[in-house]
């Protein structure tokens, strides 16, 4: 479980750092609503990623693909309910931009791709 | 009970949202379940590598669920949008949007699970290449999301389309057909792309020296596997943007709906078939790198032939739109 905690810590901190930086950029551009939406979306993206890691040991207790898939369905529905919260908030409150929230929900995925594809490549190139 | 237009629009919107998130969750769950199942297998082979395998599984599943999140976004928009329109066409457009995103997320969700699962298995066999395996898995999974992105684009276009004074018949059928065409065609491409990406992870674990050629073959194979969903997108655009003259006959509407159904279902088989072809090529590139060029050519010829049924489906769809 220690590796999972370390992975979560790494990507979640990268995602939050990126979200705060983007919030400042949007603030300077006068697009506060998008910035707030992005920050809110990122926060829930991070929560989703943490919950996913917490539920993981339960997945691994399942012996077959079908049992694992059934458990994954329950887990996804639970996490989708969490991810729906910022979307609904942004549709109800006009000071939070919907598109900002949508992009924010993918920040953890973007952080993973950025870290593994770009940062890692740069490390390999430096070593070479 | 259902004669009030606003009620019908709400029904279509809520029904579309239900289909959207229901199907979207199935795709992502099957994909994540596959990854978890393979992670179990890998841990049973190499319990001492469980930390790395679980880390890989977590990252793979996070990317695999993107298609499901697309579906969630569309479902929330459908539920909470303020559809103040009094035009019945809005109901068709919203229901079509739900169908499009729901079906469109299935293939990408399932497909993204394959590279995740194979990477977990590969880690237990070849722990020294864990970084390369994860990079390849992420690239493969990200490409798998393309058909789901096409579906989201079509769904958003349907939701925010300016209906204006378009005639109810046969435009309702064109809007529904547009949703079905991209959404259903995306199933095959998403799964096909995933099969290819899964094979590439397996191949890298088998022979890490062949990484470059394996990745190139994977990307070309995945790109061709996406073609049926591009055909689906093309038919959807025609159905959404062509103005059809008003017609009171049911046959005109059925022709347009049939065009969407034809391209949608016609795209499933070729998408999966292309993925199988690329899967075979990618596996054998790692076993016999000297034959990589020959394998790539054979793969492309095989994919072109298996693509023919998608082309037939597109031709019939176009005939239904422009001739019938």
Interface test with B, best of A55, A65, A85 (most B CBs within 10 A): A65
Structure ipTM: 0.83
Indicate the DSSP class of residue A8: H
| Cis-peptide, bond into residue A83, ω within 30° of zero | no
CA dihedral B201, B118, B148, A83 (to 10 degrees): -120
Number of domains comprising chain B: 1
**Interface touch B34/A71, C-beta < 8 Å:** no
Each of the 324 residues of chain B gets a pLDDT tens digit; together they read 556 888 999 999 999 999 999 999 999 999 988 998 899 899 988 898 888 888 889 888 888 889 999 999 999 999 998 777 778 899 999 999 999 999 999 999 999 999 999 999 999 988 888 888 888 999 999 999 999 999 999 999 999 988 888 898 899 999 999 999 999 999 999 999 999 999 999 999 999 999 899 999 999 999 999 999 999 999 999 999 999 999 888 999 999 999 999 999 999 999 999 999 999 999 999 999 999 999 999 999 999 999 999 999 999 999 999 986
**Interface touch A56/B131, C-beta < 8 Å:** no
pLDDT computed for residue B196 by the predictor: 96
CA angle B71, B228, B31 (to 5 degrees): 40
Chain B positions contacting chain A at CB under 8 Å are 21, 25-26, 28-30, 32-34, 36-37, 39-40, 43, 51-52, 54-55, 57-59, 61-63, 65-66, 68-69, 72-73, 76-77, 80-81, 131, 134-135, 138-139, 142
**Interface touch B72/A120, C-beta < 8 Å:** no
pLDDT computed for residue B1 by the predictor: 55
- Chain B hits for A8, CB-CB cut-off 8 Å, are 58
Nearest to B63 by CA among B154, B153, B140: B140
**Minimum CA–CA partner of A52 in chain B:** B58
Indicate the DSSP class of residue A30: T
Q: Cα separation of B300 and B203, whole Å?
A: 19
N- to C-terminal Cα distance for chain B?
35
Q: What is the DSSP string of A34-52?
A: HHHHHHHHHHHHHHHHHHH
Interface test with A, best of B65, B109, B115 (most A CBs within 10 A): B65
CATH of the domain at B69: 1.20.120.610
Range of the domain at B183: 5-322
Mean pLDDT of A107-124: 84
Count of Cβ atoms closer than 10 Å to residue B59 Cβ? 25
pLDDT computed for residue A56 by the predictor: 78
Contact B109, B30 (CB under 8 A): yes
- What phi, psi does A32 have (nearest 5°)? -60, -40
**Minimum CA–CA partner of B117 in chain A:** A65
pLDDT computed for residue B270 by the predictor: 96
pLDDT computed for residue A111 by the predictor: 92
Q: What is the pLDDT of residues A15-59, one digit of tens each?
A: 999 999 999 999 999 999 999 999 999 999 999 999 988 887 776
Which positions ≥6 away from A107 have C-beta within 8 Å?
A15, A18, A19, A38, A41, A42, A45, A46
Indicate if the pLDDT at residue A124 is higher than 90: no
- What phi, psi does A123 have (nearest 5°)? -60, -45
What is the Cα Rg of chain B in Å? 21
Mean pLDDT of A83-93: 93
Nearest to B40 by CA among A45, A71, A46: A71
Indicate if the pLDDT at residue A63 is higher than 70: no
pLDDT computed for residue B49 by the predictor: 87
Which residue ranges make up each domain of chain A?
2-127
SS (H, E, C) chain B: CCCCHHHHHHHHHHHHHHHHHHHHHHHHHHHHHHHHHHHHHHHHHCHHHHHHHHHHHHHHHHHHCHHHHHHHHHHHHHHHCCCCCCCCHHHHHHHHHHHHHHHHHHHHHHHHHHHHHHHHHHHHHCHHHHHHHHHHHHHHHHHHCHHHHHHHHHHHHHHHCCCCCCCHHHHHHHHHHHHHHHHHHHHHHHHHHHHHHHHHHHHHHHCHHHHHHHHHHHHHHHHHHCHHHHHHHHHHHHHHHCCCCCCCCHHHHHHHHHHHHHHHHHHHHHHHHHHHHHHHHHHHHHHCHHHHHHHHHHHHHHHHHHHHHHHHHHHHHHHHHHCC
Indicate the DSSP class of residue A29: T
Q: What is the DSSP string of A58-123?
A: HHTT--SHHHHHHHHHHHHHHHHHHHHHHHHHHHH-TTS-HHHHHHHTTHHHHHHHIIIIIIHHHH
Residues in chain A: 128
pLDDT computed for residue B3 by the predictor: 67
Contact A106, B66 (CB under 8 A): yes
**Interface touch A72/B32, C-beta < 8 Å:** yes
């Amino acid at each position: 479980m220690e590796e999972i905690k370390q992975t979560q810590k790494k990507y979640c901190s990268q995602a939050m750092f990126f979200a705060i930086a983007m919030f400042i950029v949007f603030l300077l551009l006068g697009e506060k609503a998008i910035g707030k939406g992005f920050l809110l979306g990122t926060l829930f993206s991070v929560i989703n990623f943490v919950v996913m890691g917490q539920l993981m040991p339960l997945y691994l207790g399942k012996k077959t693909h079908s049992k694992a898939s059934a458990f994954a369905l329950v887990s996804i529905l639970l996490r989708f309910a969490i991810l729906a919260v910022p979307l609904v908030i942004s549709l109800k409150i006009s000071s939070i931009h919907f598109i900002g929230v949508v992009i924010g929900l993918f920040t953890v995925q973007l952080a993973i791709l950025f870290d593994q594809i770009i940062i890692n490549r740069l490390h390999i190139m430096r070593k070479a | 009970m259902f004669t009030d237009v606003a009620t019908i629009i709400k029904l279509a919107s809520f029904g579309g949202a239900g289909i959207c998130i229901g199907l979207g969750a199935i795709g992502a769950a099957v994909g994540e379940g596959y990854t978890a199942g393979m992670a179990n297998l890998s841990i049973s082979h190499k319990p001492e590598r469980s930390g790395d395998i679980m880390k890989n599984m977590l990252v793979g599943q996070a990317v695999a669920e993107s298609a499901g999140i697309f579906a969630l976004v569309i479902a929330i928009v459908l539920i909470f949008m303020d559809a103040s329109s009094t035009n019945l066409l809005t109901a068709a457009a919203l229901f079509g949007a739900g169908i499009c995103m729901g079906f469109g997320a299935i293939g990408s969700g399932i497909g993204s699970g394959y590279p995740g699962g194979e990477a977990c298995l590969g880690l237990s066999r070849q722990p020294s290449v864990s970084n390369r395996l994860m990079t390849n898995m992420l690239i493969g999974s990200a490409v798998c999301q393309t058909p789901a992105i096409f579906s989201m684009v079509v769904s958003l276009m349907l939701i925010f389309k300016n209906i204006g004074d378009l005639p109810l018949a046969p435009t309702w059928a064109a809007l529904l057909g547009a949703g079905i065409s991209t959404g259903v065609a995306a199933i095959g491409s998403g799964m096909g792309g995933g099969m290819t990406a899964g094979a590439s992870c397996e191949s890298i674990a088998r022979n890490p020296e062949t990484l470059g050629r394996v990745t190139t073959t994977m990307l070309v194979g995945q790109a061709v596997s996406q073609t049926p969903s591009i055909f689906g997108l093309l038919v959807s655009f025609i159905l959404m943007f062509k103005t059809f003259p008003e017609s009171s006959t049911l046959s005109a509407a059925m022709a347009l709906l049939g065009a969407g159904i034809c391209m949608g279902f016609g795209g499933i088989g070729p998408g999966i078939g292309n993925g199988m072809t690329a899967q075979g090529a990618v596996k054998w590139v790692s076993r016999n790198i000297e034959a990589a060029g020959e394998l790539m050519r054979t793969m492309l010829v095989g994919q072109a032939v298996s693509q023919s049924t998608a082309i037939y489906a597109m031709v019939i769809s176009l005939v239904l739109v422009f001739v019938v």
